[in-house]
Amino acid sequence: MTIIAVDGPAASGKGTIARALARHYGLPCLDTGLLYRAVGLSVLKAGGDPDHEADALAACDFDAPLLDDPALRSEAVGSLASRVSVHPGVRQALVQRQRDFATQPGGAILDGRDIGTVIAPDADAKIFVTASVHVRARRRYDDALAHGGHPDMDSLIADIQARDTRDMSRDHAPLRMADGADLLDTSDLTIEAAIRQAIALVDAQLEGRR
């Protein structure tokens, strides 16, 4: 069994890297952020308050098909996910779902914000993917333009900074680099270069465990 943990803040490139690693190593991949996005969207649909733990907790029992809803990828739902994820009850409710995925026969790759610290602290390889706030905002800006949106750079920067603060300062499972993880800064890397570097880092960690 091989478990690979990929953590990092919003728009760092961790999802793209995790999917590339999954193809390279032939492992299933879970974007755990989608779970929190599904909770956030469920709260919104129910007319609840994402900052109220009881409303967020009630939304954790969502149906699996919701994970395929394109609305989960929107910036608005991403912000909701960051807000519901600060609640300890919500994080605890989703922990077992993630651990079951990680420990399936053969292993898996998971990307999120607390994979290497909470979900799979004994993962065989851990990477913490990051990039500067302005680079991450530019990625969001370009993505929104490509999908016909009319993004505002200042608003995107403010949103990313607010999400970083929430993610890093929450009491339960804050965003941080896990012990034993390798740092991968993608600020000045192309997608292809970031993937090559990620594979090299994982290969080295896996070799070190043999």
Domain ranges within the chain, ordered by starting residue: 2-199
Q: Determine if residue 13 is labeled as part of a ligand binding site.
A: yes
Question: Cα(131)–Cα(129) distance, rounded to whole angstroms?
Answer: 7
Q: Determine if residue 116 is labeled as part of a ligand binding site.
A: no
Q: What is the pLDDT of residue 64?
A: 85
Going 150 to 155 to 161 to 163, the CA torsion angle's sign is: negative
Nearest to residue 82, comparing CAs of 22, 167, 154?
167
- The class level of CATH for 2-199 reads alpha beta
Q: Determine if residue 200 is labeled as part of a ligand binding site.
A: no
Q: Determine if residue 16 is labeled as part of a ligand binding site.
A: yes
Nearest to residue 3, comparing CAs of 153, 11, 21?
21
Q: What is the pLDDT of residue 161?
A: 95
| Per-residue pLDDT at 90 exceeds 90 | yes
Provide mean pLDDT across the span 82-108: 93
Assign 209 a pLDDT band (cuts: 50, 70, 90). Answer: confident
**Each residue's pLDDT tens digit, 184-203:** 999 999 999 999 999 999 99
Q: Determine if residue 15 is labeled as part of a ligand binding site.
A: yes
**Each residue's pLDDT tens digit, 23-67:** 999 999 999 999 999 999 999 999 999 999 999 999 999 988 999
Tokens in use for 149? Answer: 């949106």
Q: What is the pLDDT of residue 44?
A: 94
Q: What is the pLDDT of residue 147?
A: 83
Q: Determine if residue 132 is labeled as part of a ligand binding site.
A: no
| Per-residue pLDDT at 135 exceeds 90 | yes
| Per-residue pLDDT at 210 exceeds 80 | no
Q: What is the pLDDT of residue 77?
A: 93
Q: Determine if residue 65 is labeled as part of a ligand binding site.
A: no
Place of tokens 């993610």: 167
The answer to whether the CB of 136 falls within 8 A of the CB of 162 is: no
Q: What is the pLDDT of residue 208?
A: 87
